Copies of this chain bind each other. A is one copy, B any other.
Amino acid sequence: MSTGFARVAVLGLGLIGGSILQTVRHAGIAGVGYDVDVAALEAASSDGFAVAPSTAAAARGADLIVLAMPLPAVRDAAAALRGHLSPGAIVTDVGTLKQPVVDAVRAELPGVSFVGGHPLAGVEDTGWPAARPAMFRDASWSLVLEADTDLDDWLRLASFVCDIGARPVPTTAADQDAAVARVIGLPHVLAEALALTGLAGGPLGLTLAAGSYMSGSRVARTRPELVTTWCDGNPALPTALDDAISYLVEARDALRSGGSVLSLADAGHAARINWEHRQVEPVELRADAAALVAHGRCGGWITAVLQEPDGVRLLGMRPV
**A residues at B contact (CB < 8 Å):** 120-123, 139-140, 142, 169, 171, 175-176, 178-184, 186-213, 215-225, 227-228, 231-234, 237-238, 240-245, 247-249, 251-252, 255-256, 258-262, 264-269, 271-276, 278, 296-301, 319
Please name all residues of chain B whose beta carbon is closer than 8 Å to the beta carbon of A210 when the two chains form the complex: 120-122, 139-140, 183-184
User: Contact at A169–B207, with CB atoms within 8 Å?
Assistant: yes
Task: Report how far A227 CA is from B267 CA in the complex, Å.
Answer: 12
User: Contact at A269–B223, with CB atoms within 8 Å?
Assistant: yes
Task: Report how far A217 CA is from B184 CA in the complex, Å.
Answer: 12
User: Contact at B247–A197, with CB atoms within 8 Å?
Assistant: yes
A186 contacts which of B198, B231, B319 (Cβ < 8 Å)? B198
A182 contacts which of B180, B197, B273 (Cβ < 8 Å)? B197
Counted per complex, copies of this chain come to: 2
Task: Report how far A297 CA is from B208 CA in the complex, Å.
Answer: 11
Task: Report how far A193 CA is from B258 CA in the complex, Å.
Answer: 20
Task: Report how far A224 CA is from B267 CA in the complex, Å.
Answer: 9
User: Contact at B252–A241, with CB atoms within 8 Å?
Assistant: yes
User: Contact at B202–A297, with CB atoms within 8 Å?
Assistant: yes
Apart from the given pairs A204-B297, A220-B265, A232-B262, 14 other A-B contacts in the complex at a CB distance below 8 Å: A120-B208, A121-B211, A140-B208, A184-B208, A192-B268, A196-B271, A197-B240, A201-B240, A204-B299, A206-B275, A217-B271, A228-B265, A238-B256, A241-B248
Task: Report how far A187 CA is from B192 CA in the complex, Å.
Answer: 11
A-B contact pairs, 28 of them (CB 8 A): A120-B208, A120-B210, A140-B208, A182-B200, A183-B209, A186-B194, A188-B212, A189-B261, A193-B247, A193-B251, A195-B269, A202-B297, A203-B299, A204-B297, A206-B275, A206-B319, A211-B219, A216-B218, A220-B271, A221-B269, A221-B273, A223-B269, A231-B255, A231-B261, A232-B260, A234-B255, A238-B255, A248-B248
Please name all residues of chain B whose beta carbon is closer than 8 Å to the beta carbon of A301 when the two chains form the complex: 207
* Top 5 A-B pairs, shortest CB-CB distance: A192-B268, A203-B299, A187-B216, A224-B265, A179-B205
* Nearest Cβ on chain B to A119's Cβ, whole angstroms: 9
Please name all residues of chain B whose beta carbon is closer than 8 Å to the beta carbon of A256 when the two chains form the complex: 238
User: Contact at A169–B208, with CB atoms within 8 Å?
Assistant: yes
User: Contact at B264–A193, with CB atoms within 8 Å?
Assistant: yes
- Assuming the contacts A182-B198, A272-B220, asked whether A298 and B203 have C-beta atoms less than 8 A apart, the reply is yes
Task: Report how far A232 CA is from B260 CA in the complex, Å.
Answer: 5
User: Contact at B271–A204, with CB atoms within 8 Å?
Assistant: no
A271 contacts which of B195, B248, B259 (Cβ < 8 Å)? B195
Task: Report how far A276 CA is from B169 CA in the complex, Å.
Answer: 36
Taking CB as reference atom, which chain B residue is nearest A193? B247
* Nearest Cβ on chain B to A97's Cβ, whole angstroms: 12
